[in-house]
Every structure is written in C-alpha cells, then in structure tokens.
Structure 1
C-alpha cells in the first residue's frame, strides 16, 4: 500500500507546485501587458493563451 501512495502523493505535490508557478508567471506577464501600450481588451485574451500554453507544456 505504501508503495502506491508515495508516487501518487509526489505526483499531486508536483502538479500543485507547477500550477502555482504557472499562476505566478501569468500574473507577471499580465502586469507587463498592463504596462505596455497594448489595448486593454487584449490583456485577458493574451493571459488566457499564456496560461493554457504553460499548462499544456506542464502536463
């Protein structure tokens, strides 16, 4: 039983850490987009694209 729980727990921890890192990266990119001269209506779209791309690469 312990042999099964350890890899599953490690996988869940790795997933959660990765999702937290992706959230931080998306927030940083969002702040950079806000400072740029891009249209504000593009910000949610670009942040979604970055978030999806990073999550796809992570998984």
Structure 2
C-alpha cells in the first residue's frame, strides 16, 4: 500500500455544500499550541489554512 499514490478507481468526492457557510469567515483569536511548543494565535493567520489536531 502506498500513501503517495491514489488508486485509479477512487471516486470523485461530491460537494454537498455542508461547509459552504464557512467560506469567507475569519478565525477567532484563539491561541493553540504548535508541535514545536509555541503558541499560535490562529486569528492572525491570513490566506488559506488547514489546521490539524493531534494527540
């Protein structure tokens, strides 16, 4: 199994619009701890961002 190559028969996802209300919204002024231990205020991030949460 390869995590860098997608299978040829992978179906194309259908956008059901469930997250459409999030477009254009701003992130709140909340500080989250980064993996390096620094606190990052996500309210100051500009542009497109993906935030993941790990344990």
TM-score by length of 2: 0.21
Please state which structure has a larger fraction of its residues in strand: 2
Q: Per chain length, whose mean CA-contact separation is higher, i.e. which structure has more relative contact order (CA < 8 Å, sep 6+)?
A: 1
